[in-house]
Amino acid sequence: MSDDIMIDDETLSAFLDGELPEPEMQKIRTTLASNTELSERLRMLGMADQAVKLLSRAVDHEPLPESVLQLLGGDDRETAPAAHPTTFARFRPMLAPALGFCLLLLAVGLVFVSNREPMNETGAFPAIAEYSAYLDTLPSGETVSLAGARLQNRFSFISTGGEYCRQYQLITDTMASENIACRSGNEWELAAALSSPAIPDDSEFRPAGIQDDLNRLLQDMMQGSALDLETEQALIGSRWQQAPTP
């Protein structure tokens, strides 16, 4: 192909971070769908990042130094809970291998979602119609910039109602939102949106309360585990037209 791009580690690394022009991103996605070796290499690079993030969170279990708290005139209880690692974030499949992910049951009851009611979208975030194309095509773990926000797809799953769903994050300068959208017919419909003030420059953190609510929702909605990368790529390629197989 005359327009082949060289896919080396530098290219894969930039793809991992969503930092390539969209035409290049698309070419790489197409190549990944049929190149197992390249997919594996991408997975390993992603794992390296996961290792770094995992290590960075390890310090959260240590109490903050008293001397610093005294400088700021506060104590540990006043610090934002958002910095503490959450079970869900640890299992987030940036580049899911062919394994499912487990969610831990929470001590506080489960939220039962019987019927999906139409969600009222707030003005703080783009409407789903503005980014539904990315729910169609953006693989899990990738980030895309929208007008005034960034979207990152976290993972895909089949709901207990037999629909394809995606869990994703929207983040603006001031707000962050964890969302679940499910596919009904040929449209994505917003099933859940949990918002919180955003912590600038860090899209990893979610307040513990939001995380608990999200975990409960997912526990209730998910049929089995998150879809693996290969399955998700096939669904993206088929525009989510394949019938869900439980």
Question: Which residues contribute to the site for another protein (CB under 8 A)?
Answer: 8-10, 12-14, 17, 19, 44-45, 47-62, 64-65, 67-69, 71-74, 78-80, 82-84, 97, 99, 199-205
Q: How far is CA 60 from CA 88, 105, 202, in A?
A: 16, 22, 15
- Edge-to-edge order in the sheet of strand 164-171: 143-146, 149-158, 164-171, 175-184, 187-197
Cβ at position 237, least distance to another protein in Å = 26
Element containing residue 233 per DSSP (H, E) = helix 229-237
Structure tokens at 50: 């996961």
Structure tokens at 34: 């049929």
User: Which CB sits closer to another protein, 4 or 61?
Assistant: 61
User: Which CB sits closer to another protein, 29 or 57?
Assistant: 57
DSSP letter string, 63-110 = PPPHHHHHHTT--GGGS-GGGS--HHHHT--TT--SS----PPPSS--
User: Which CB sits closer to another protein, 90 or 239?
Assistant: 90
User: Which CB sits closer to another protein, 74 or 162?
Assistant: 74
Cβ at position 218, least distance to another protein in Å = 18
- Kindly report the length of the chain: 246
Cβ at position 182, least distance to another protein in Å = 27
Cβ at position 235, least distance to another protein in Å = 23
User: Which CB sits closer to another protein, 63 or 118?
Assistant: 63
Integer Cα distance of 71 and 126 in angstroms: 40
